Amino acid sequence: MKKNILISFFILLSVMAFNPSFADNEEEAAMLYNEAIDLYKQDDVNRSIELFKQAIELKQDFYEAHYNLAQILMSVNKNNEAYKSLLEIIKLKPDDPEALYNIGKIQYKRGYLSSAHSYLIKIPTSAAQYESAKLLIDKIEKRQKELELENKIKQNKTTYDAQGLALGVELGGFEAPSGIALDNRGNIYVASFLDNTIHKISIYGQKTIFSNSSLVRGPIGLAIDKNDNVYVANYSANTIVKITPEGNASVFSKVQKPYCLIYDDKNNKLFVTEQETNKLIKFDL
């Protein structure tokens, strides 16, 4: 708990002089508040929470009680309750940077990205929480872009031009695209014959370079095994290259003008067509 602020008795006595009934509530709320702090220090968290709530019932605008209640609730992962307390803090102090950050963090964890962003963006650059908020904002905006692209891909269906040629959904340009394969997670791999590169398109539509190893030369066919290792038929280099999920490339076998690859997941075998000799070659993996 970061704030253990006691109610000023000077303020309390001043209120009592003008409104004894209101002062009774103020005094009782202050006593409950202080007792709640003591209980928290003694690790009696549940009882401390109850007393903070009782103090707030007596004094609705008791900022310190709202603050400490929210901090304790977050510390015991009662984020739904903490969220409500933080909203009360924002009502009392709309520009409270710590409350804004905590609300943003909770909403992010709950998956409410737009809501989280709306609170985090209000934190001024001068606040101690600004850098942490900026990191979280960057994560949120990145995820929002991924979701937008994912929805775009899901909503778009294959279309055709006047000649009946499929237009499809554009996922990025390639230099002479050849082989294509899908891993166990739904990521797409595309071989670019001219630039000797294997591209990866994530399930969210993000295109990245999976491998541009010097071992990859004139890639055509692609296949992926049950462990998500990618096999590349290097037509120009007369080799089959194996690339691990981490991107580490090595020569798997020498083959004369390999062209097409296919993986048999039931029997864990790799088949390749050898164009130079007009043969089909089988490899046990």
Torsions phi, psi for 229 (to 5 deg): -80, 135
- pLDDT value at 5 more than 60: no
Do 137 and 186 have their domain in common?
no
Q: Which residue has the higher pLDDT, 8 or 138?
A: 138
The rounded mean pLDDT for the chain is: 85
Whether residue 216 sits in one domain with residue 121: no
76 found inside a domain: yes
- What pLDDT band is residue 207 in, cutting at 50, 70 and 90? confident
Domain assignment present for residue 238? The answer is yes
165 domain-assigned: no
CATH number at residue 205: 2.120.10.30
Tell me, yes or no, whether 219 and 135 share the same domain: no
**How does pLDDT run across 161-197, given as a tens digit for each residue?**
676 665 555 555 677 888 899 999 889 999 999 999 9
Question: Tens digit of pLDDT for each residue in 17-44?
Answer: 445 554 578 888 888 998 998 898 898 9
Residue 214 shares a structural domain with residue 119? no
| CA pair distance 249, 240, nearest whole angstrom | 10
* pLDDT at 138 > cutoff 80: yes
Which is more confidently placed, 132 or 168?
132
Whether 1 is in a domain gets the answer no
State the pLDDT at residue 2.
42
Does residue 183 form part of some domain?
A: yes
**Alpha helices in the chain, H assignment, sequence order:** 9-18, 20-41, 45-58, 63-75, 79-92, 97-110, 113-120, 130-155
Answer whether residue 153 shows pLDDT above 70. Answer: no
Q: Are residues 131 and 255 in the same domain?
A: no
User: Is the distance from CB of 57 to CB of 51 less than 8 angstroms?
Assistant: no
- Examine residue 169 and state whether it is found in any structural domain, yes or no: no
Report the number of distinct structural domains present in the chain: 2
% of the chain beyond a pLDDT of 70? 83
Please tell me the predicted confidence (pLDDT) of residue 159: 62
| pLDDT at residue 14 is higher than 80 | no
pTM above 0.75, yes or no: no
Q: Are residues 139 and 52 in the same domain?
A: yes
Mean pLDDT over 244-259 rounds to 94
Structural domain range at position 266: 177-284
Please identify, among 133, 149, 165, the residue that sits at the C-terminal boundary of a domain: 149
Q: In this structure, is residue 161 part of a structural domain?
A: no
Q: Which residue has the higher pLDDT, 156 or 244?
A: 244
- Determine which of 122-126, 128-132, 141-145, 259-263 has the lowest per-residue pLDDT on average: 141-145
Domain with residue 112: its CATH number is 1.25.40.10
Residue 138 resides in a domain: yes
- List the strands of the sheet with 269-274, edge to edge: 258-264, 269-274, 279-284
Residue 129 shares a structural domain with residue 187: no
pLDDT of residue 4: 42
132 near 144, Cβ under 8 Å? no
Residue 11 has pLDDT above 50, yes or no: no
User: Cα separation of 53 and 245, whole Å?
Assistant: 52
- Do both 128 and 256 map to the same domain? no
Domain end (from 149, 167, 194)? 149
Determine how many CB atoms are found less than 10 A away from the CB of residue 176.
12
